[in-house]
Structure 1
């Protein structure tokens, strides 16, 4: 038996907030701000967006490790934040997140039609998120009300390690019955999500404008002047550079053209690990 590389893609593994729902990825960021505020520690929206894509406990730990935030915590409590303190913030974050997730549950304009087109081309739709299952269940239910259901969903606490580890992406490969990781595309709006896909051996597509990196509503994105948008794209492309995405596009609606290009590359014998 000899190895034969895949000739075309079999599955797309999609992130949720900032990719398929919640243009600008506002649901998690605002709740981080509110959760820290309940401990009398100020965290800005921009600071909260920094580690986006990680599991939420790890996200809070990363925020607490930032010197300026650790100093604010020290002023409030007389000590640097410990893991127990992180857990306390996380335990306040969770009910706030569950309570307010519906506020930012709208599908990204055009996403439903785009995903439908991918399915017509024979692609399976996997998904994963930095949300834990208790939040993900609500996100999935709200998306279903709007017409979207992935073929498989993996929450961050359903695998031993969250992003940037590859476990969630690989759990989709197993559940969807994909025979080669090179036949998969990981689509995400965060650096940890792209690293997840890279480490899983998949093709990777970074979303520049619909998610955390730009951090605007759909209306705000549309209102940007051409030169402003060009500058933002340049900034965000630089932000993603170290994670080495194979493609960078504005929103999921540009994904079908990327899928077609990857299929051509696979047909030529190219593999994501070497690209």
Structure 2
């Protein structure tokens, strides 16, 4: 256990050294969030990062056009992050939806999907830019059409296997789901 803690401390220190370079919103996020807001929706976020890490990421993302209405890290819920549903519940408490059946969890990791399902809500997996896909944007764009199709199919299968209700190519796909 001591070794694991030591490795984690080194890992966290290294992340903090480079984190400011990784606050760029993924493609289509800023535009999609703007459209969702125009529809009257609020945006809550959950993260695997600590509050200390978010103190670096949040201002960088805001400067580039992305700012959720609220966000919660595992620090806010007794270190019980994903797949526990508690960060989602904190978002709902802060955003005060009148009908929780209209809350949707959208994410790009298996843990996001499990978090949403554990909270009892519709969960949507995003393929492009996901940890499930496991490729940088440049690597993904460098794939042939057939390679992209195979990678997309595998990612979708992974999401559905853990309970995703929907899978979208990128965040723009959420717009079609909320307008249904």
Smaller-chain TM-score range?
over 0.9
> Which of these residues, 41, 44, 58, is aligned with residue 140 of structure 1?
58
Give yes or no for the alignment of 1:123 onto 2:41. yes
- 1:89 is matched with 7
- 2:159 is matched with 240
Question: 1 or 2 for the larger relative contact order (CA 8 Å, sep ≥6)?
Answer: 1
- Give every structure 1 segment of 4 or more consecutive aligned residues whose post-TM-superposition deviation is greater than 4 Å: none
Alignment TM-score, normalising by the size of structure 1: 0.62
In the TM superposition, residue 127 of structure 1 has moved relative to its aligned partner by: 0.3
2:106 is paired with a residue of what secondary structure? strand
Contact 1:181 1:201 in 2 (8 A): no
Contact 1:198 1:204 in 2 (8 A): yes
Runs of at least 5 residues in structure 2 that lack an aligned partner in the other structure: none
- 2:145 is matched with 226
- 1:250 is matched with 169
Alignment TM-score, normalising by the size of structure 2: 0.94
In the TM superposition, residue 222 of structure 1 has moved relative to its aligned partner by: 2.4
- The structure that has the greater radius of gyration is 1
- 1:260 is matched with 179
For residues 227-274 of structure 1, the C-alpha deviation after alignment (integer angstroms, 9 at most, x for no partner) is 11111112112222332111101111221012112xxxxxxxxxxxxx
In the TM superposition, residue 173 of structure 1 has moved relative to its aligned partner by: 0.4
Contact 1:166 1:200 in 2 (8 A): yes
1:230 is paired with a residue of what secondary structure? helix
For residues 153-173 of structure 1, the C-alpha deviation after alignment (integer angstroms, 9 at most, x for no partner) is 101221131111100111100
Give yes or no for the alignment of 1:149 onto 2:67. yes
Runs of at least 5 residues in structure 1 that lack an aligned partner in the other structure: 1-82, 262-275
> Which of these residues, 213, 218, 235, is aligned with residue 132 of structure 2?
213
C-alpha distance in structure 2 between counterparts of 1:220 and 1:254, whole Å:
22
Aligned length in residues = 179
